[in-house]
Amino acid sequence: MATMEAPPRLQVNLHEGAFKNEPFVDFSREDNARKMRAAIEKVRGQLGREYDLIIGGKRAKTADKIRSINPAKPSQVVGVHQKAGKEHIEPAMNAALKAFTNWSHTTVEERASLVFRVGDLLRARKYEFMAWLVFEVSKNWAEADGDIAETIDFCEFYAREALRFAKAEPPVQLPGERDRLMYIPLGVGAVIPPWNFPCAIMAGMTLASIVSGNTVILKPSSDSPTIAAKFVELLEEAGLPEGVVNFCPGGGATFGDALVAHPKTRYIAFTGSREVGLHINQTAAQHQPGQVWIKRTVLEMGGKDAIIVDADADLDAAVEGVASAAFGFQGQKCSACSRAIIDERIYDKFIEKLKTRVERITVGDPAENLNMAAVINEGSMNDILRYIEIGKKDGRLITGGARATNAGEGYFIQPTVIADIAPKSKLEQEEVFGPVLVVIKARNYDHALEIANDTEFGLTGAVYTNSREKLDRATREFHVGNLYLNRKCTGAMVGAHPFGGFNMSGTDSKSGGPDYLYLFTQGKSVAEKIS
């Protein structure tokens, strides 16, 4: 019987000390602003380049292409990518399976060391990666900074978590036995990230996979493949062996569906819409010939997130929190506040203050670091505008309500607030995923909680009140995976706010938390009789 070849040992360099979140950049400092402008100009000079598929370390081109464009300037091509099809499934799977044989048997110290090294490389090129986000998905500087800082956090946090998992012990050691508990990798994972956090979520799911000993077929969003390609280049530079991550941009209905259905796909890590997530769950649940496991699905889906503002709240703080959570990154976050539920005693005053605050938001080219930039593509823009027209009929337009034509050629929409929206109405129930906030009147706190919970989603939520009793009630009764008290409902921090939602918001994956790597491993108990 042939013996398995021992994997080559990687250089180990582990970071010392406890995890700390990557600090954000202070762009009010001229030296930092100058660095960002320089990075933008550097990346501007690299736009339009072509990127290959990477399967088993080998580059390949296809006849069909994916063109990533700048949402703020659709005439500008950010990157040209190969479009993987069904014919690439077997080569990608074979490469990932071959790599798994060795990668799964490297030591956890080697895998963690590589992930730490990725974080170091990314930290050194933070501004450049931020600039790619400015062009490819229209993030302003602060939003781009948050995305890259979170990516670095994932490197640092998951590497430490993998080392912690390796030290697991069973709760009981039986007399006369040596009892062990280990968390071993699953196999080949399909990683299918979204475009809205195209570095952090894409990298987070990929890093959790590989630090646990799995191998990956990475299918980035067709709206943001360039930042994924840049990240894969970083993995290669850090020394990741060939085939551990295979870069395959492709269509969801062709390459994506075939990848999810493949009998050798062991798990699927997905972040995206409710509809696609449910489709993946259903496809993965169907047993295929030759499949010897139940596929695991790690699904992070949508939200219809609410902020409750009680009559005794700090009104100025609540207005700021709602505006920031509703219109940060054009409302294109699954955690974004899309419903403000306001006690009727302060309803009119809140709307007056909110209108003033929202109308200070500037809209335009993110390279110039305005507050709000373009939504991701033309189809999304048209969908959002249709929701706005429904809102104008069902409620009262407070501000916005149209395309921001003075902002440039891109897919710009005015920040829009619509009041007097009724509970259970279309705009109150459906995820818009754009810069649209609805304001709902509540009779009292009981009514506000009832409205907030009356949704199929359960991702994030927030409450502004000075009542300890009401805050405690929200902790017990507001049914969301991430609840924030007297602060906005966006901006989850790795380590402090493990992220994931209930109900149709997904499988409560709790990324950035102490449970996350369990989803990418399986527990193996070993009991050895000793004399």
Beta strands in 71-176 (DSSP E): 73-82
Q: Which two tokens stand for residue 84?
A: 């993987």
d(CA 194, CA 220): 7
d(CA 63, CA 271): 28
Among candidate residues 114, 67, 358, 101, the one with its CA nearest the CA of residue 223: 67
Strand pairing report for 416-419 and 396-399: antiparallel
Distances from the Cα of 286 to the Cαs of 251, 261, 283, 507, in angstroms? 21, 8, 6, 18
Other Cβ atoms within 10 Å of 528 Cβ, number: 9
CA atoms in the 13 A half-sphere facing the CB of 326: 27
d(CA 512, CA 495): 5
Other Cβ atoms within 10 Å of 164 Cβ, number: 13
**Looking up tokens 């069909």, which residue turns up?**
64
The residues that are catalytic are 300, 334
Strand partners, 441: 342
According to DSSP, residue 25 is labeled P
d(CA 83, CA 53): 8
